[in-house]
Amino acid sequence: MFTLINLSTLNASGAHWYTDSKLWVLIPLILFFAFIFKKGAHKAIGSALDERSTRIKTELDEAKRLREEAQALLASYQRKQKEAEEQAQSIIKQARSDAENMAAQARKDLSERLERRAAQAEAKIASAEAKAMADVKSKAADMALATAEKLLRSEVTTAKHADLVKTGISQIGKSFN
């Protein structure tokens, strides 16, 4: 077994115990530790370690608080992002609905405009037909009158002429009543 100090009077090389260099290294080391212990270095080392432990604990608590704060902030941003996405979807849905309503209104307006134009065209056609009929009737009446005048001038005598005028005046009077 290995021993640090050989207290026998002679060591293996034949020298006395007090000439061993290990002993002279050990004695000052023990005295140094005793002096440090007496001066309270162990307390200073302990308090330094306690301070470091406290500082590390504080830093860990701060890191934990910052982590929780970051998680809360992340959750808040995720919630805001979700709300923004929902709002965007709502806006898109409303825009589609508005576009469909506008398209339906435009189709309705176009249909009404086409119906009005068709009615106007039909009214113009009817008016043109009525005018044409009136023109035809007027021409026919003028032609009939001209023909009747020619006939009457050639065949009617004065007595017949007076009788025809009376009959015509009475028929005109009846048609006004």
Segment 100-138, tens digit of pLDDT: 999 999 999 999 999 999 999 999 999 988 888 888 778
Both tokens of 146, joined, read 């001209």
As a whole number of Å, the CA-based R_g of the chain is 66
What value does the mean pLDDT take over residues 74-95? 95
pLDDT beyond 60 at 8: no
* pTM, entire model: 0.40
Summarize the confidence of residues 135-153 as an average pLDDT.
73
CB 28 within 8 A of CB 6: no
User: Which whole number is the average pLDDT over 78-92?
Assistant: 95
What pLDDT shows up at residue 149?
Answer: 73
Q: How far apart are CA 39 and CA 9, in angstroms?
A: 36
Q: Where are the domains of the chain?
A: 18-127
pLDDT digits (tens, 9 = 90+) for 35-66: 888 887 888 888 899 999 999 999 999 999 99
Share of the chain above pLDDT 90, in %: 47
14 φψ region: left (φ > 0), alpha (ψ -120 to 50), beta (else): left
Band of residue 163 on the pLDDT scale cut at 50, 70, 90: confident
Say if CB 4 and CB 22 are below 8 A apart.
yes
Residue 79 has pLDDT above 90, yes or no: yes
Contact 23, 17 (CB under 8 A): yes
| pLDDT at residue 31 is higher than 50 | yes
pLDDT tier for residue 2 given thresholds of 50, 70 and 90: very low
